[in-house]
Amino acid sequence: MKYAIEIKNLKKNYPDFSLKVDELKIPSGAVIGLIGENGAGKTTLIKSILNIIKKDDGKIKIFDKDLEEQELNIKEDIGVVLDNTFFPESLNSRNIDSIMQDIYKNWDSKLFYKYLKDFGIKDNQILKTMSKGMRKKVEIATALSHHPKLLILDEATSGLDPIVRNEVLDLFLNFIKDEEHTIILSTHITSDLEHIADHIIFIDKGTIVLENTRDEIIDNYGILKCDIDEFDRIDTNDIVSFRKNKYSYEILINDKDKCRKKYKDFVIDKITIEDLMLLMIKGGK
């Protein structure tokens, strides 16, 4: 398998937070959903991959090249949308086109204006007068217009209305049709990931707690529901985490088939990524 990103023993320490990734391999040609609560380490991981922050230890390879040794070449092939808006407010899209022509070797003005047209953005409108969603669209168009191989999107779909968000997700799906292309999408809108993600990486308190394909997560994980007095009948080895409600328990299990055979009297529901996040972070163990 070809990997877009390979990370080994990555460490980044702050006084009140540490990111620690022993090993992470992100396959090419896939959409990777990065999930976790605020402050879990998603942005730190993204910024480490982009070398915006200096790691304390570890190795990062992108497109099979060492990030530190070949940063310039690597970054030519990466499109970025960060969580905060980043273009100066006084610029318009024409200015951005002019700036980017001298930053990326492969900058494609035609493509940039095509995206803007598709998004319904006038090229002479200054960013200051745009809504947050419109500014995000300009940033997405910018990230896509130098023919990158890797798109790194930190909360790129937040602030967009559902219709535009769907358009943008379709755009990402179109981008990923090329097997060389990869997307890392960090988002709190987990339904977006159910729509497009191939892999899910779940970060909690600076470490990766779950990494698997979306299908395997949806197929294997489930929520077993039982009454309070039935809870003791569930083998603790089958419980990943649980949430106690007023009259019942919701138990996160990671082997749905096995549990269906073992606990025939219980209801086992399909899991959503949001449920998974909630139960893994907030659930008891």
Partner 1 sequence: MLGMIKKDIFMIRNNLKTLIFAIFIYLFYTFMFEADMSFILPFMMLMICISTFGYDEYNNWYSFASALPQGKINTVKSKYITTITLIIFATIIGIICTFIISNFKTTINFSDAISSISGCLFAIFILVSMLFPFLFKYGHEKGRIAMFILGMGAFAVIILLKKVINISIPTSIITFLDSYGLIIFLILSIIFIGISYLISKKIFLKKEF
Nearer to partner 1, 87 or 266 (CB): 87
CA distances from 44 to 47, 50, 53, 55, 81 (A): 5, 10, 8, 10, 14
User: What distance in Å separates the CA atoms of residue 189 and residue 209, rounded to the nearest whole number?
Assistant: 19
Summarize the chain as % helix, strand, coil (round to 5): 35, 30, 35
Question: What's the min distance (Å) between Cβ of 141 and partner 1?
Answer: 14
- Which distant-in-sequence residues (6+ apart) come within 8 Å of 237 by Cβ? none
Whether the CB-CB separation of 112 and 145 falls below 8 Å is answered with yes
β-pairing verdict for 3-14 and 17-27:
antiparallel
User: What distance in Å separates the CA atoms of residue 149 and residue 169, rounded to the nearest whole number?
Assistant: 17
Nearer to partner 1, 126 or 171 (CB): 126
User: What distance in Å separates the CA atoms of residue 3 and residue 24, rounded to the nearest whole number?
Assistant: 10
Binding stretches for partner 1 (CB under 8 A): 47, 50-54, 71-72, 75-76, 78, 80, 82, 84-91, 95, 98-104, 152
User: What distance in Å separates the CA atoms of residue 269 and residue 278, rounded to the nearest whole number?
Assistant: 15
Provide the CA 79 distance to its chain's centre, in angstroms: 14
Nearer to partner 1, 51 or 220 (CB): 51
Nearer to partner 1, 12 or 256 (CB): 12
Nearer to partner 1, 125 or 213 (CB): 125
Question: What's the min distance (Å) between Cβ of 54 and partner 1?
Answer: 7
Nearer to partner 1, 95 or 248 (CB): 95
256, two tokens: 């749905």
